Amino acid sequence: MISICFLAMLFLPGFVKTARAENDTSATSKDAQLPLLLPYGPDYRTPREGEGFRAVVFGREITVNPRDGRSVSSVDLGLALYKPLPEDRQVVPFGALYLWRHPNDEDLFRGIIDGVYDDIFWAHASRNMAPFEFVATLNNYTLPFAQYELVDGRAAKSEELLWGYVRPGFGLGYRRTVSPGHQDNMMAIDATVEPGYLFFDKGSKTADNFVVPEDTFELREHLQLRWDALERNILSLPHEGFAFGSDLVHGNRLEWRNWGINGSDPSNGGRDYFSFTGYFLKAGGVPGLDSDRHRLIAAVYGGTGSNLDRFSAPRIGGGDMPLGEEYGSTSQAVLPGAVIQEYFPKHYLLAAGEYRWEALFFTYLSVDASAGWLDRLRQTGPDITDTASKTDFFSSLGARLTTGFFFDSRMQLAYNYNFSEIRRDGRGGHEIVLHFSRDF
């Protein structure tokens, strides 16, 4: 209890918009109309996302003003640390600008923007065509440095590449509100055509006999389903409800040739490809405990495909674990304890579970576990380029603190241990993730 009190005194002043002493006569009548949160009463209700309320914390009355979730601008910054250290991937920073605009039922804009990686979605429906809508998207992956894959925890630098893509899209969609009816509770089906361009170049350590893939135009057809019926708490963590979705992608590269060491990867292994991914997430109370403070979250992610390669397969790894925190990010499969984007499996099935306890209305402690199967590259000969794809079982345990922080921000500190990671000829990998987000 002492540690929780310490967290409250440290983080509370920066989290709440307004804080007043209990006898402060400057409190407005508008504030007084907000419901008073009684944290220890039998009918305690966890405050939901966007709600305003008053509360008394350690003798001080504070006011949390309502938040308009239809217009959100925030910045996300984080750092992932790994031990034992995978080669050249000891510390991985991440960050992005997040924009959400949903002013009415006819318009929606969602953007994850950091310049070298952008994921943008826009939809508009005229009044005479709703719930059908026009859709436009933009995805680009343009890191300005060469990248390599990890094989058994070691860097395959002889196969490193500077590569990326720019992929606009356009099409039609169908969208409607679903229960419980908040602004991010939607069912959406979108069909888009995505013409794009892939580019490749050698890195400084690429082997002389490595054949670089050919720059090429690519055409993808993408069918996407999203159903979000989650109610979230004041820190955007899923509290009640469910979400599910899927992505069906067919792609064709116009120019493609054998690539890799001595051209060992055949061109027909990536010219025309297919991918299917799906997920389901459920959040609710703990059986036998009639309390809003205790929550269980369960999620299942899966995917399969044909002719997938490192440039078209879904990327799965560690880092921040969103698990239902936001409409668009719920679809991201995360493998706790792995390096961010470490694997590109052709087939995978992952399950994650979390128990979360609300210590205070702005502080949550969680323990989580995951298990699953996916195929990854394993070294099969004396050279690191001697590899084969093998399906392995993965499991992990972890814990996480999510709390309000200074300057109206949110902080997450997570630890995960993955029993199946291969690091320096041994099994097991530690991961620590520190993540900050702040609206502006």
- Could you report the per-residue pLDDT of 145-195, keeping only the tens digit for each? 999 999 998 889 999 999 999 999 999 999 999 999 999 999 999 999 999
68-439: CATH number: 2.40.160.50
Dihedral of alpha carbons 64, 69, 72, 74, sign: positive
pLDDT at 38: 78
Which has the higher per-residue pLDDT, 440 or 228?
228
Q: Minimal CA–CA distance to 94: which of 315, 367, 309, 301?
A: 315
Dihedral of alpha carbons 84, 89, 91, 97, sign: negative
Query: Alpha-carbon distance 49 to 68, whole Å?
Result: 9
Please say if the pLDDT value at position 408 is more than 90: no
pLDDT at 10: 44
Q: Which SS3 state, helix, strand or coil, does residue 167 take?
A: strand
Q: Pseudo-torsion of CA 344, 345, 349, 355, nearest 10°?
A: -20
Q: What amino acid occupies position 417?
A: Y
Q: What's the mean pLDDT when you consider all of the chain?
A: 89
List of residues 6+ apart from 424 with CB closer than 8 A:
84, 85, 153
What band does 28 get if pLDDT is binned at 50, 70 and 90?
low
Please say if the pLDDT value at position 212 is more than 80: yes
Alpha carbon of 60 to those of 22, 44, 135: distances in Å?
5, 19, 48
pLDDT at 29: 59
Task: Report DSSP state, residue 256.
Answer: -
Burial class (CB in 10 A: 0-12, 13-18, 19+), 407: exposed
What band does 385 get if pLDDT is binned at 50, 70 and 90?
confident
Q: How many CB atoms lie within 10 A of CB 237?
A: 26
Look up the pTM and report it: 0.90
Please say if the pLDDT value at position 30 is more than 70: no
pLDDT at 19: 38
Query: Alpha-carbon distance 273 to 270, whole Å?
Result: 6
**Bridge partners, residue 216, by sequence:** 198
Query: Alpha-carbon distance 214 to 210, whole Å?
Result: 12
- Percentage with pLDDT > 70 across the chain: 92
Query: Alpha-carbon distance 77 to 358, whole Å?
Result: 24
pLDDT at 62: 84
What's CA 423's distance to the chain center, in Å? 24
pLDDT at 1: 40
- Residue 118 near residue 140 (C-beta atoms within 8 A): yes
Please say if the pLDDT value at position 112 is more than 90: yes
Q: Where are the domains of the chain?
A: 1-67, 68-439
Please say if the pLDDT value at position 11 is more than 50: no
**CA max distance for the chain:** 79
